[in-house]
Structure 1
Amino acid sequence: MDSEHEINGSGEEETSGDPEPLDPEILDEDDFAVEEGSLEGEEEEQERLLPVPRASGSLARLDPLTAYLNEIRAYEDLTEEEEHELAVRFKETGDLKAAYRLATHNLTLVVKIAMTFRREWENMMDLIQEGNVGLMKAVQHFDPFRGVRLPAYASWWIKAYILKFILDNWRLVKVGTTNTRRKLLYNLRKEKARLEEMGIAPTTQRLAEHFGVDEKEVIDVEASIGAADVSMDTPAHPDSTLTPMQTLSNAASEHEDDVVEEDFFQVLREKISEFMENLKPVERDLIATRILSETPRSLKEIGEDYGVTREAVRQTEQRLLNKIKLYLAEHLPEAADYFENN
């Protein structure tokens, strides 16, 4: 992990700042990927790698990603009891050794999540580093008494840091870090594929209307995700038969994060359902079909259903987001961090 980001004795992490909180509707997506590529300053990194034997008996060097994956394989998954004991110790005493174990034994989770973004960013080690910062932030804030496993809780922070990094650095031009851009990043390809399956042309205008944004937003994001794919199933170098994906799968095959993450979202859904009980029909509809939907309806569509303007729907949505965040801050603080008030 990056030595510039450490958890101090008081449980505070020293870092340059947190990413903006994320809207939960975009955190459910897991079908995007980022290509592996060269590292900035790769030559210096390579010099620090230990040589390994080739089949012929000569020496070869592992690329940085493969070397890192081999290194973190030493950290096996914690049992639920081990995780709880360490988390309680860190929360109550600030024990840095406990925090270190919680972080290092979840490093493969960071890599798994980073790999889901491999089509959006060339440098996998960049994404892993940012994800590791998010992991440390999660360890700092994790509450072991809420009935949620650390991998489920940490996955939110890891995705937040990785996604913020990508959006801030795309093509050396800041594409934007608003929830609108995040929703487009996660859902644009999916919506285009859905329209094509229905025999409908996914025009820029139609996509913009669906997401309730300007056509320029769609064009900008579409241009930013046009990079070619690089397979993670290709051997890391010509003299190796071991691929980065195989190296990772050996280390992460027993992760329970998919199950515990579903548990976390189940708790979130229950809290949102409780919150919705006393809302008006239009407010419940907004939450169900826009705020929490994987394919959110446009402001215009909802406005037409209820005979109000697009702006009126937008203002109602913002008020709802504020209310949801306040409600979750009391009943599920872990989730409240990801509702943006803008």
Structure 2
Amino acid sequence: MKATSTQTALVPMGSHALTLGFPGSLGNIEAYISSVNRIPMLTHEEETSLARRLREQNDLAAAQKLVMSHLRLVVSIARGYLGYGLPHADLIQEGNIGLMKAVKRFDPDQGVRLVSYAMHWIKAEIHEYILKNWRLVKIATTKAQRKLFFNLRSHKESLDAMTPAQVEDLAKSLNVKREEVIEMETRMSGHDIALDGPSDDEDDKFAPIAYLSSDTAEPTKALEAKQFDRMQSEGLEAALDKLDARSRRIVEARWLSNDDGSGATLHELADEFGVSAERIRQIESAALKKMKGTLAAYV
């Protein structure tokens, strides 16, 4: 993926939602990184205000500020994927797309900072880019590798792996190391495999797509799980604390005493408190309604 300038390469200008127009041409990747590192970070209050303006008013200026203030995060994450042989600028560009998607979907009322939410989207976009392009990475970079690339196929007598003697002979004839011959043969003999298995075969559950993807890693699912855990711990305890002693005892005996859901019956609690089963049901109903109001703050 080539571009005439870093500005073009790093900013997905095809998006009509917003642009990240830096003034003038940034020239190279180092200039871009230097520029984004100088962009001020947002405080929690500023971030929340901008995110609400975007959600409620579709304020693209607010979206731009949210994206710009987190470009340094993309640079940092993309740096961790340089070992795949893809250009840093391309990785940053894909990460920027993930950041834009995160900003578009970010809900400031979920109780998490944008930096935590965006990290999942940035990584997901970079991962997808690497999976799509790893077979397209330059197969021959050094002079010796290019020589091998153009000559290896014609020197091989069959599609089978070369014998040690053949490797030695080819290395001598091309004046390269035998290790380089082995490495290039391995690269060229690799085959693409389908991520999806055949739809009418039981073995499709073992196709790569079955274990490469994970619903729990999707940002929205992760947030939902975190929110549910918080409601189960902090929220439930807070809701129970709002009840009087009798109401709390009834709710705990009915719904929280056993993991299998087999709590105390209305008649058992009626005998305990010396009232009718109908009265226990009324107290329980009122208590659950009150708890629901408290738990709404954790949803």
TM-score normalised by length of structure 2:
0.43
Rg: which structure is higher?
A: 2
Structure whose residues are more often helix by fraction: 2
By relative contact order (CA 8 Å, sep 6+), the higher-ranking structure is 1
TM-score normalised by length of structure 1:
0.38
